[in-house]
Amino acid sequence: MLWPGTLIGAGAGFAIASIPGAILGALLGQALDRRLHLQSWGHLREKLGGRPVLRNDELLFVLLGRLAKCDGQVMSGHIEQARAEMRSLDMSESAQRRAIAAFNRGKSGRDRLRGYLRRLSAQPHAAEGVLRACWRMVWADGRAGSSERKLIGQWGKWLGWTPHQVKALAHDYEPRKRPLGNSVPSYQDALRLLGVSATTEPAQIKRAYRRLLSRHHPDKIAGSGATATQVREATERTRELHNAYTLIRERRDFR
């Protein structure tokens, strides 16, 4: 790992007082690295530019925010997908606030993500989880544009994945083609899908939706050793639940 403060301190100390100065400068620089959580030159640039360094639990939502804004407009499906990711991670209220801020930060596209992702490549399971979440976000609006695919391909490269491996994950989340007439459920179909009625309280509808979403979440299915077909089916089921919940929420006018 490259510690910028340590290197700068050692270099400056050597220039002033040779080897003893380099040792002292390195120690002072190391203390600065730890205090400011500087782990790379990119971190240092962000500090100098006034942007805080990303925490591990914020990186995912920065990526998701950038993908959501990639084609110019963040859709309601993107926002709901981000919320679904927070629920699947069982995030606390404070963690959710950080995730929302990170999602909005990602929309700006100003962060340099290469260093973060290269460090994450040392954690294969976490890297795969990030890529899977990215593909879920891409398909949240029902399509995957070339700019979104290009971004995920680049991020996958920094994570140590081959283009073929990255593309293979996309198939797990691509919606199955179906007649256009069946793409949007009726209000009664939506109620039946969530197991609620037209008079069920909004709080109960939310709980039913979250319970079903947790049960059918693709990551949970994949973690149980399911096949690629089963993961695709779980992804489609999750999308159906999301569409049904969105329809009911809009009809009943609650958040």
Give the pLDDT of residue 182: 45
Give the pLDDT of residue 117: 92
User: Topology of 180-252 in CATH?
Assistant: Helix Hairpins (1.10.287)
Given a contact cutoff of 8 angstroms between Cβ atoms, the answer to whether 134 and 117 are in contact is no
Locate tokens 């593909």: which residue? 135
- Structure confidence by residue, pLDDT tens digits, 95-135: 999 999 999 999 988 888 888 899 889 988 889 889 999 99
Distance (Å) of CA 208 to CA 88, 196, 202, 248: 15, 8, 10, 12
Q: In terms of residues, how long is the chain?
A: 255
Q: What does the block give as tokens for 44?
A: 């240092």
Give the pLDDT of residue 235: 80
Q: What is the residue extent of each domain of the chain?
A: 4-48, 56-171, 180-252
> Environment class of residue 111 by beta-carbon count within 10 Å: exposed (0-12), middle (13-18) or buried (19+)?
buried
Neighbours of 199 (CB within 10 A): 5
**Consecutive H or E run containing 170:** helix 163-171
In SS3 terms, 208-235 reads as: HHHHHHHHHCHHHHHHCCCCHHHHHHHH
Given a contact cutoff of 8 angstroms between Cβ atoms, the answer to whether 61 and 102 are in contact is yes
Whole-number Å distance between alpha carbons of 182 and 148: 26
Give the pLDDT of residue 63: 96
DSSP 8-state assignment for residue 12: H
- Expressed in percent and rounded to 5, the helix, strand and coil fractions of the chain are 75, 0, 25
Q: What angle do CA 91, 168, 193 make, to 5 degrees?
A: 55
pLDDT < 50: residue spans in the chain: 1, 177-182
